Structure 1
Amino acid sequence: MPDRCEVLPGDAVVARRGGGLLWVDAPGSPALVAALHACLGVAGPGADRVLAAVAAQAAPLGGGAASFALVLVDSSGGSGTGVALWSGKGQPAVDGVPVSGQPVDGGCSIAAGFPLGATLYVGPGQAAPQMPPGVAYDLTEGTVPGSGAMLQLAAAAHVSAAVPPATAMPSSSPSSFTAGSDAGFAGAASYGSTRASSASGAAARTDDGGEETAFWKPDSASAPVLRFDDGLVVTVDEDLVLGRRPDSHELVTSGTARPVPIADTQNVLSSAHAAIQRSGGEVSLTDLGSLNGTHVAGPEATEWTQLEPGVAHPLSDGDRLLLGWTVITYEVPQD
């Protein structure tokens, strides 16, 4: 049984890969987000030194005010111990007990070698005793908006085996969700990754699937994907409902679709704005009666076409979708 990572909805960023779990309250600091993403592929002996080097760069990367928490599983010998770096309100906790560490450069704290219990919490403040049903989101691997995350560990041996070997590509992926299109990740993703490698010397490489993003290379590219204008990607491996708060839509509550919440600081998206639905080999886009409409344009089109609410529009490779101010490209991987 895989580890379950429950993410509370919010406008910050939560990411998971292997035994690494990240929470960053810095939507306006893509360089810091990218630098910490790069660390998620780091594990084993020396991980604490890598994080200490990153901590020295955290203040300038984050503008000095960002809060974050990054926890990695140390896989050496299958010990199931953790290495953590955090700043501000993002102190991690294991089984409800905050992890204590030592201050390092950049106003951060670091801890290494602490035992991982049944539950690992990363986020602001203390973990809630129990997350309300219908609120927590499950993250197998990837990047989602969220105000914190709880990782229920199956067993120490399973956790240590889950950490992938480090490679040369920093990475991450959205699974059920994507970070907000106004977070500004796309323009600085490669810059942040470069700074991470330079600062730390680190090499870093779902129920849901994934497709290549600025941070993560997938194992499979068999399903179509939605590529958001911030560079993040959602796999169309089942029906989807997109919007500001789509989890309460009937397609989601009935279990026939999964929600894809999009951060929307300008309030131009409807709670359940549009649906992506599959029928055989065809994928279609349907406006769900949104206030500001759903628009689509072909790869070469120069004008947007507004969809009639409730009428399914078949999608083709390269079609662009416009939901509020969010631009999404529909892509069909080539065999």
Structure 2
Amino acid sequence: MSDHLGVAVVRAQPDRPDITRLDAMPDRCEVLPGDAVVARRGGGLLWVDAPGSPALVSALHACLGVTGPGADRVLAAVAGQVSSLASGGVSFALVLSNDAGTGVALWAGKGQPAVDGVPVSGSSVDGGTLATGFALGRSLYVGPGQSAPGTPPGVSYDLVEGTVPGGGATLHLSAAAPAAAAPVQAPAQSSFSTGTDAGFGAGRGASAARPDSGEQTAFWRPDPSEAAPILRFDDGMVVTIDEDLVLGRRPDNHEMVASGSARAVPIADTQNVLSSAHAALTRSGREVSLVDLGSLNGTHVAGPEATEWTQLEPGVAHPLSDGDRLLLGWTVITFEQPQE
């Protein structure tokens, strides 16, 4: 029992095989860039946007280890504490899955879980909405509003385990585990009373094998055989420059993308300071150049040790060096060129 939240904590018991986690791991968890928090643990998924409320984020994060009988009661009790933990408005969506392939979900505000693109419905509880026993389908979404459309390869990134910045996430589920498979015990949780977000992501799968699909992220170890330069965004997203790129708020319609000569890299823009097609990166052998595409607020660059930004002239290519920083709107990106 947690004194801070006053809710019972479900723990894994050696003689309670019914308390399990989903044994069939999702094939891929696509996390969209953004300023909120996305967490994954086993078959559980969380999105939470609660600025200034680390206690609430930590409480919901701890719920990822809760599953099996009684999970709905624990989540309902947590929902009742949301208003006392959150400062101002809060949005979140939390889904837990079990070995039977069904889910338990809790959400509030703009948060919404959806299965195969269909929003999950539930019953109102004090502090949110609770749903239990629904089928997980082929894809499971958590985030704000309706399920997000598919994003181009290299924009979303695959979260194996842990916590990252993100504007929402979709799990693409694998087939259900065979009935004879040994259940996986839910990890014991010490309490729901964590007051800060320190220690988040301790279970990140940084050493896990990288799948063939998707781009490198800050939580994968790069394949040493890959010599392509990369862009490392300030929110943790990493994009490989294996072809020309167009960056911006909605770069899909730019002529370079439409003609197939470049790949679109959308950037989350909550401040509305990015142009639809803001800047491009072009390759010529190992050299990579940055070009401003006539953006409204300009494209800036600074060397690794520079203390001031230099604004680029529209249409004029600027060769990049390892460690250069790019400023597009309020987004800071570091260019990394691997050694030969």
TM bracket, shorter-chain basis: 0.5 to 0.7
Query: 2: distance between equivalents of 1:232 and 1:30?
Result: 21
State the Cα distance separating 1:257 from its structure 2 match: 0.7
TM-score, normalising length from structure 2?
0.61
Kindly report which structure 2 residues correspond to 1:85-96, keeping only aligned pairs within 5 A, or say none.
85-94=106-115, 96=118
Structure 1 residues without counterparts, runs of 5 or longer: 168-190
Q: Kindly tell me: are residues 103 and 204 of structure 1, through their superposed partners in 2, closer, same or farther at Cα, counting changes over 3 Å?
A: farther
Q: Secondary structure at the residue paired with 2:197?
A: helix
**Identity value in percent:** 53
Query: 8 Å contact 2:80–2:125 — kept in the other structure?
Result: no
Query: 2: distance between equivalents of 1:306 and 1:136?
Result: 33
Query: 2: distance between equivalents of 1:25 and 1:307?
Result: 35
The question of 1:67 aligning with 2:91 is answered yes
Q: In the alignment, what sits opposite 2:295? A: 290
State the Cα distance separating 1:319 from its structure 2 match: 1.0
Query: 8 Å contact 1:86–1:92 — kept in the other structure?
Result: yes
Structure 1 or 2: more helix by fraction: 1
Query: 2: distance between equivalents of 1:61 and 1:334?
Result: 48
Counterpart among 309, 318, 325 of residue 320 in structure 1: 325
Counterpart among 136, 151, 172 of residue 116 in structure 1: 136
Per-residue CA deviations over 1:239-294 (Å, capped at 9, x if unaligned) read 432222223223333443132223142x4321111123444433332211212321
Query: 1: distance between equivalents of 2:55 and 2:339?
Result: 33
The question of 1:84 aligning with 2:84 is answered no
Query: 2: distance between equivalents of 1:323 and 1:155?
Result: 41
Q: Secondary structure at the residue paired with 1:82?
A: strand
Structure 2 residues without counterparts, runs of 5 or longer: 1-25, 189-194, 205-210
Opposite residue 323 of structure 1, the aligned amino acid is L
Q: In the alignment, what sits opposite 1:211? A: 217
State the Cα distance separating 1:51 from its structure 2 match: 5.8
Q: Kindly tell me: are residues 321 and 12 of structure 1, through their superposed partners in 2, closer, same or farther at Cα, counting changes over 3 Å?
A: closer
Per-residue CA deviations over 1:106-146 (Å, capped at 9, x if unaligned) read x134455543123434345666xxx8xxx642645256765
Counterpart among 221, 233, 240 of residue 237 in structure 2: 233
TM-score, normalising length from structure 1?
0.62
Q: Secondary structure at the residue paired with 1:251?
A: helix
State the Cα distance separating 1:296 from its structure 2 match: 1.0
Counterpart among 150, 154, 158 of residue 141 in structure 1: 158
Query: 2: distance between equivalents of 1:309 and 1:126?
Result: 37
The question of 1:261 aligning with 2:282 is answered no
Query: 2: distance between equivalents of 1:136 and 1:334?
Result: 34
Query: 8 Å contact 2:60–2:94 — kept in the other structure?
Result: no
Q: Secondary structure at the residue paired with 2:111?
A: coil
Query: 2: distance between equivalents of 1:330 and 1:50?
Result: 45
State the Cα distance separating 1:305 from its structure 2 match: 2.2
Opposite residue 155 of structure 1, the aligned amino acid is A
The question of 1:250 aligning with 2:261 is answered no
Q: Secondary structure at the residue paired with 1:92?
A: strand
Alignment RMSD (CA, Å): 4.7
